Structure 1
Amino acid sequence: MHDIYLTDQYAELNPTWHEEDSPWKAHQIEAIIRKNRLNFDSLCEVGCGTGEILLNLSRSFPKAHFTGYEISPHAYQRAKTKETSRVSFQLSDILEEKDSTFDVVVIADVIEHVEDYISFIKGLRSCGRYKIFHIPLDLSVQSVLRAWPIANLRDNVGHLHYFFKDTALATLRGCGYSVIDYAYTASRLELPNQAFSSTLMRLPRRLLYSIHPDLAVRILGGYSLLVLAE
């Protein structure tokens, strides 16, 4: 994991810990759960940040219990103050926990930050039956041509690896997962507080996506990939 999470560096660069994005992310996760009619009693999130995604999911699924794992002391301290009777948080690496298994494991915008992401993804297989990955698709024609968007992701939010749809799915399958369902999510079009360049790109992205989704994502970017696997 990038060292900026173990110190206060990430919090200094991103003081909200992207809490404003959490309702949107929780909605995407809820949608794929309901679409595939998953029944679950327990759900955990690996790399839960300050816990807002889990808190939103707990309101949508009032009979389930939720556990968040976080390695950043700063994020964990903020999450811990929000615990409820059905939502708890752990300052630990789930891969180092024994007998921690859940019906659903959520890994939202995490694998791109992990140095040895292959071993990390393989290690998660034993943590639960269903996995829901949310993976930013940083690689597109426009991002490679401009270069600075990817460089900024590395410097400001600690992305160490960069994906497009095919490499993301191939990575999961190569790590032993069966992909049940996947969908694009319009992260740069729908999330709040986007850069001016993303605002300018909204219309062309929407127009091309309505004609050819794969081509729009590959050329213009601005989307992430939500994957349900087991």
Structure 2
Amino acid sequence: MLKKYQINNEIYKQMGDEWYVSDNYVALLRAEARARNPWVSKKIIELIKKEDVTVLDVGCGGGLLANDLAKMNYKVTGVDIHQEVLNVGKKYDSTGSVKYLYADAHALPFPDACFDVVCILDVLEHVDNYIQVLNECVRCLKNGGYIFYHTFNRNIFSLLFVIKGMEIFVKNTPKNLHVHHLFIKPKEIKEVFKELNCKSKEIKGLNPKIFSREFMKLILKGEIDEKFEFELTNSLIAGYIGYAEKLN
């Protein structure tokens, strides 16, 4: 039986400007954001035909998503449990419009049904009770609103490549950046959404472009080039992104 390690969420407090300038494991977050943020933005435009769209970014970190969405003139609120990362997000918010707040995803400080969109990307595999967190996200979502998520599948492939591969090949990767028992199978998250009266609408794999010069640089030097790319695929074997609609 695999030992259940404790997730190391404290590392994010020390990142500082590395959220936006680095060539180590943090750069993978930026590479993921370059692939997924446009997808999320496009879906919001397609799905919500109104002005003044309100968006909650749960576990916003240094604002990689929140600051991008603010440029689309959405009314964005970003929450996180680390004041240090909220300060980074605010520093890099070129619009000056994002409302950054300290909050625990297990108990969000918002009334019921107050956001058109809730995003929770790269967070569910970092929390003690992801079902409770999803329940809170859905509670804050308006009927007919949409929740976007990104997390990792729990299988032997993700153990070997997402966790062990990063520790071996990506320089300065801290121990327990991810822990395998907190990963979530797609069928599990779909079942939770069904229980929360939400309909799963779309789910895509989000994986590195392995046949690229930048991927080989990662393997050989342990560095993440700024041109390193992720891509949306049909394979859910590792990372995956999707969204669900809150029903009336």
Who is 2:171 aligned against?
Answer: none
- Alignment match, 2:134: 121
| TM-score normalised by L of structure 2 | 0.67
Q: Following the alignment from structure 2 to structure 1, what is the Cα–Cα distance between the partners of residues 45 and 110?
A: 30
Question: Unaligned stretches of 5+ in structure 1?
Answer: 198-205
- Is residue 2:240 matched to residue 1:224? yes
Distance 1:141 1:158 in 2: 14
Question: Superposed, which structure 2 residues align to 1:27-38 within 5 Å?
Answer: 27-38=38-49
TM-fit CA distance, 1:73: 2.6
| Alpha-carbon displacement from aligned partner over 1:109-143 (angstroms, at most 9, x marks no partner) | 21111111111211222212224232333334634
SS in 2 for 1:182: strand
Matching of residues 176-215 of structure 1 within 5 Å: 176-189=196-209, 195-196=218-219, 213=234
Percentage identity across paired residues of the two chains? 16
My pick for the range that moved more, 6-15 or 80-89, is: 6-15
* Distance in 2 (alpha carbons) for counterparts of 1:15 and 1:149: 14
Could you say which residue in structure 2 is the equivalent of 1:202?
Answer: none
Q: Secondary structure at the match of 2:208?
A: helix
| Residue in 1 that maps onto 2:9 | 5
| TM-score, normalisation: structure 1 | 0.71
Q: Does 2:124 match 1:111?
A: yes
Out of 80, 83, 96, the position equivalent to 2:90 is 80
> CA separation of 1:51/1:193 partners in 2, compared to 1, >3 Å: closer, same or farther?
farther
Change over 3 Å in CA distance of 1:96–1:162 after alignment to 2: closer
Q: Distance in 2 between matches of 1:185 and 1:148?
A: 15
CA spacing shift, 1:152–1:116, aligned 2, 3 Å: farther
2:134 counterpart of 1:136: no
Is 1:139–1:163's contact at 8 Å kept on the other side of the alignment?
Answer: yes
Cα distance, 1:36 vs structure 2? 2.6
Map of 2:3 onto structure 1 = none
| Kept after mapping to 2: 8 A contact 1:138/1:162 | yes
Query: CA offset at residue 7 of structure 1?
Result: 5.8
Closer, same or farther in 2 for the Cα pair 1:3/1:225, shift >3 Å?
A: closer
Does 1:58 find its partner at 2:70?
Answer: yes
Quote the Cα distance in structure 2 between the aligned partners of 1:29 and 1:127. 19
Measured after TM superposition, the shift of residue 9 of structure 1 is 6.8
Contact 1:135 1:225 in 2 (8 A): yes
Relative to structure 1, the CA distance from residue 140 to residue 7 in structure 2 (aligned partners, 3 Å threshold; closer, same or farther) is: closer
Deviations 1:54-90 (A, max 9, x none): 121222x22x211110112321121122343432211
Q: Alpha carbons of 1:17 and 1:44: their partners in 2 closer, same or farther (altered >3 Å)?
A: farther
Give 1 or 2: higher helix fraction.
Answer: 1
Counterpart of 1:187, as a letter, is N
**2:8 is paired with a residue of what secondary structure?**
helix
The alpha-carbon distance between structure 1 residues 98 and 140, as it changes in their structure 2 partners (threshold 3 A), is: closer
Equivalent positions of 1:18-29 (< 5 A) are 18-29=29-40
